[in-house]
Amino acid sequence: MCEGYRWCLPPTREPAYGRMYDAQTGSRFTRAANSEFAFAALPMNRLLSSSSALLWGLQFAFLSPVLALLLVSLFDATPADVGWVLALYNASGFVAALLIPGWADRNGDYLRPMLVCAVLTVALAGALAMTTSLPIAVIALMVLGGPAGVGSTLLFAELRHSGARTSEVMNTRAVVSFAWVAGPPVATFVMGTLGDRSIIPLLAVVGILNVVTTLLLMRRRRSASTERVELGGDEPQEESIGRMGVAAVFTAFVLLQATNAAVMAIMVLYVTAVLGLPVVWGGITLGVAALAEIPALWLMGRFSHRFSLHSLIISGCLAGVLYYVALIFIRDPITLLVAQPLNAWFFAVTAGIGMTLFQQIIPRPGLATGLFMNTRRIGAIVAGPIIAVAGIGGLGYSAVCALCAIITIVAVAILMVAQSAVRRTRAGSRTVGT
């Protein structure tokens, strides 16, 4: 399945009209430079894409942080129930993130399934509003909620398919981060003011708005008359990394996502147990980190025109290692807040540059984005054993930070080995050619 996957690590000056992938023929093509409908020349497309990213981000930001609370307060779930329900819900999302984008790749259409995901969001809200039965709620979350969560994956696949450049993808990802900054406070405020069930109509509104924006994107796409031009010899060549190379990159990003998820999960406990500060400092720290992610993603997008993805990934991982090591020695809240830009830069690599890398080494945009999104899900699972280290012999949460630094270094080593394999393949091809 992964034969022929390409790794475009060197920086490229892609034309303003971008590059596209033909799902039927497997070939790359560009939109004509003089096409007035090119993605980069369509402010309306960028506005619609940003609006869609905001809405998909809000959908996750409204539901994910409060889902456990909803299960307990509305459906009388026990703590054990919450555990297995969330496991089934995430498993459904994992499978859907592979199957639905795969179908979209085969058909070369990412907007129609994205519309279905938006409709499923509305259906999920309706199902949760009309029932008080936990089994029915579980079925709704698995059948409707899991596939509905693939909408953002399809949005980024559509961006890649339609010729959006790395900077445009990163800017759109920054909008999703903004949604995560604003979403949870809004959700908790609404629930605290109007009751726990009030978040369900709000979720339905977001779903309806997603339907509207997706329909507008589809209308815009139909009206855009594009001209396909086969890539010529001046286009930068891509190098195949094969199955093992893709597996190596996937493993490395699972490890990077795991360290990020682990440290985020323990931050409140770290603040109270290690620094001896009130719980509120944990929330402040996470809030500062989330705010810093937005400019970090934007800067990553800008730097992608000047530096290779490999260089940016190394810089982000170096920032991650420095951040985790700093957490071992930090003893006051101000220094903790000052260190958050390091955390944000690392996140910009794992959440932003990582996605563009997957989209470059895997020619099918849907599968590429779906696999990348699943690195976060698997990373969250791997984070569990990492956090458990804190309880071994009273090592504490500083040991978790040290382990995260080591794991990040291991992930960088895996990526460097993969890049070295690409260089050897390139050198061997040149030798054979001569």
Over its length of 434 residues, how does the chain's per-residue pLDDT go in tens digits? 343 333 444 444 443 333 444 444 444 444 333 333 444 445 557 788 889 999 999 998 888 888 888 898 899 988 888 889 988 998 999 999 999 999 999 998 999 999 999 999 999 999 999 999 999 999 999 999 999 999 999 999 998 888 888 888 888 888 988 888 888 888 888 888 888 899 999 999 999 999 999 999 988 877 664 444 343 333 333 445 677 888 999 999 999 999 999 998 888 888 988 899 888 888 888 888 888 989 999 898 888 888 888 889 999 999 999 999 999 999 999 999 999 999 999 999 988 899 988 988 888 899 999 999 999 989 988 998 999 888 887 788 899 999 999 999 999 999 988 877 666 665 555 555 55
Domains, the chain: 39-225 (1.20.1250.20), 240-433 (1.20.1250.20)
pLDDT of residue 13: 41
pLDDT of residue 86: 87
| DSSP symbols for 200-240 | HHHHHHHHHHHHHHHHHHHHHHHH----EEE--TTSPPPEE
Longest dimension (CA), the chain: 73
pLDDT of residue 237: 38
Number of H helices, E strands in the chain: 17, 5
pLDDT of residue 30: 41
8 A C-beta contact, residue 398 and residue 327:
yes
pLDDT of residue 429: 53
Gap between the Cα atoms of 321 and 330, Å rounded:
14
The burial of 114, by beta-carbon neighbours within 10 Å (0-12 exposed, 13-18 middle, 19 or more buried), is given as buried
Q: HSE (CB half, 13 Å, CA atoms) of 318?
A: 6
Gap between the Cα atoms of 262 and 252, Å rounded:
16
pLDDT of residue 433: 52
A 10 A CB-CB count for 4 gives 12
pLDDT of residue 378: 92
pTM above 0.75, yes or no: yes
Q: HSE (CB half, 13 Å, CA atoms) of 426?
A: 15
Closest to 65 (Cα-Cα) out of 210, 180, 142, 145:
180
Gap between the Cα atoms of 59 and 180, Å rounded:
9
CA angle 344, 407, 57 (to 5 degrees): 35
pLDDT of residue 1: 39
